[in-house]
Chains A and B, each alone.
Chain A
Amino acid sequence: MSLLKIQNLTKNFGGVRAVDDFSHRLETGGLYAIIGPNGAGKTTIFNLITGIYEPTVGHISFDGDEITGLRTHQIATKGIARTFQNIRLFSDFSVLDNVRTACHRYANYTVWEGLIPTPRRRREEKDLTERSWNLLKLVNLDDRAQELSKNLPYGHQRRLEIARALAQEPKLLLLDEPAAGMNPDETVHLMEFIEQIHENFNLTILLIEHHMEVVMGLADDIVVIDFGRTIAQGTPEEVQSNPVVIEAYLGTEEE
């Protein structure tokens, strides 16, 4: 059974068709990429998967359940975590609290216990803090745990956002242009990091990228989209030599 199954997904904004009849299957444990020029509809696909937009047509199922029409937090709770192209951290929170908040579902104490502390609350809060520290150590941010996240350098913010997503212990991780704004050196480090968490956390990863080179060494399977339509799919080698893809990329990179 596929982990994520997208069938005939279409999204219109007014008269503009941002995503056009998009279908895709992700098998558990794979590392997938969607690439395409800017404005091709990549982020819209993420927003449709995570319930930020409702599809005009089409269905999405995750882990055997239909998730089309569910609200964003419900989909997240089912095990889909994501990052954003333009980093959306809780900027007034410390690094630690960003991660700790994302762990919140691993504590069960109620709102009433939020008002009146109980031993259970204390125990669970301690557990949340411990989890968060462990995760921060793993992504090498533990030495900055108490800093406000908005004061972190850009690359660290990217890593923190991924850590926040990991804190949810998702089955599927969606990464929206994780290398955006990074220099080639940083990009290489980031790709190593993604490979590492893919293995360590037993994750299925779907990542969006604008630049083809970035995902070539990383993804097992690449979908290329342009103007909301799938124009090619296959292994990196197949995609790279596909004349349609080359044309789409040459056509837009010249701008």
Chain B
Amino acid sequence: MSTVLQQIINGISIGSVYALIAVGYSLVYSILKFSNFAHGGVLMLGSYFGYFALTLFGMPFWVALPLAIIGAGLLGVINERLAYRPIRMRNSPLLYLMISSLGASIFLENFTIVTIGPTFRTYPEVFAISPYMIGDLYIGRLDIIIFVIATISVALLTWIIYGTRIGNAIRATSYNMRVASLMGINPDMIVAFVFFLAGASAGLGGVLFGIKYTVWPQMGILTLKAFIAAVVGGLGSLPGAVVGAMVLGVTETFAAAFVSSAFRDLFSYALMIIIIIVRPGGLLGTVTGEKA
């Protein structure tokens, strides 16, 4: 029983990191209706920002973390500015945006390999590792801290989207960009802000993931988890992304603990495929038709 409980806690902890990454991805998807594959590149560089701030510049964690978050956020904005905005302005097919994001992702990943190097790097010890003991239950201190930071951030994001004026504008834009711009909302500002939020949350996710595991140039592949979480929860839905990420995190830790860690990812894909077949709109989403 206690191992099950422990796995659930582990799953929720990693799920909360996935949620951070998935919310950013879904936010961009809900506004521009395309999968931003460069989300992973931003995440990876955010993780490197944090790593170098801690090691190379010896900054304390509470300085390194915001720097990494802001750096990743700005990177997201630059990414949109250079690789997507010119395409958006032409009203080109969404396919072109997706391809451009693939290009940006390839560029970021390989530029990192060429300049920083292909090796895996380990974060310095930021938090004491010794676990909490509750009865006969071991709970990783790191897992708890990660969970708390990620949950606060997701809550903050949710508040920005649903509780502020700019959030209102974002939701109006995602509902209908043309109408929103008629209402006096500047869609380019909104898009830039959304990319900042998405980049920042990806950067934070990258740092947290880096602390728990390692940093390496291909860690952008993690966004695949965000895609899966988003599909499971409902493509383009923010609460869906969070729920999907939690379900995914728990599924993964259970698969790793009780089946085999080598096949952990197979279970994630299986989960996604089952959802697509059984409930294509995702757990919380709805399938909508195109407007003629």
Contacts and interface: CB of A to CB of B under 8 A. Distances in A.
B292 interface: yes
B184 interface: no
If over half of B's interface residues share one DSSP class (helix, strand or loop), that class is named, otherwise mixed; here it is: loop
Contacts of B290: 52
A53 B290 CA distance: 9
A52 B290 CA distance: 8
A127 to B, nearest CB: 31
A249 interface: no
Nearest to A85: B292
A47 B292 CA distance: 7
Secondary structure at chain A's binding surface: helix, strand, loop or mixed? loop
A43 B292 CA distance: 8
Chain A: interface size category: under 10
Contacts, number: 10
A80 to B, nearest CB: 14
Contacts of B289: 52-53
A84 interface: yes
A62 interface: no
A47 B289 CA distance: 11
A46 interface: yes
A38 to B, nearest CB: 14
Interface in B102-127: none
Contacts of A47: 292
Contacts of A85: 292
B182 to A, nearest CB: 14
Nearest to A46: B292
A39 to B, nearest CB: 13
Interface string B255-292: 00000000000000000000000000000000001101
A51 to B, nearest CB: 10
Interface string A217-253: 0000000000000000000000000000000000000
B291 to A, nearest CB: 8
A88 B292 CA distance: 9
A52 B292 CA distance: 8
Interface in A110-160: none
A231 to B, nearest CB: 24
A67 to B, nearest CB: 17
Interface string A63-98: 000000000000000000000110010000000000
A244 B141 CA distance: 72
A50 to B, nearest CB: 8
A13 to B, nearest CB: 9
A42 to B, nearest CB: 11
Contacts of A84: 292
Nearest to B290: A52
A85 B289 CA distance: 17
Contacts of A88: 292
Report, nearest first, the 4 A-B pairs whose CB atoms are least far apart: A47-B292, A52-B292, A53-B289, A84-B292
Given A53-B289, A85-B292, A88-B292, 7 more contacts: A43-B292, A46-B292, A47-B292, A52-B289, A52-B290, A52-B292, A84-B292
Interface of B: 289-290, 292
10 contacts: A43-B292, A46-B292, A47-B292, A52-B289, A52-B290, A52-B292, A53-B289, A84-B292, A85-B292, A88-B292
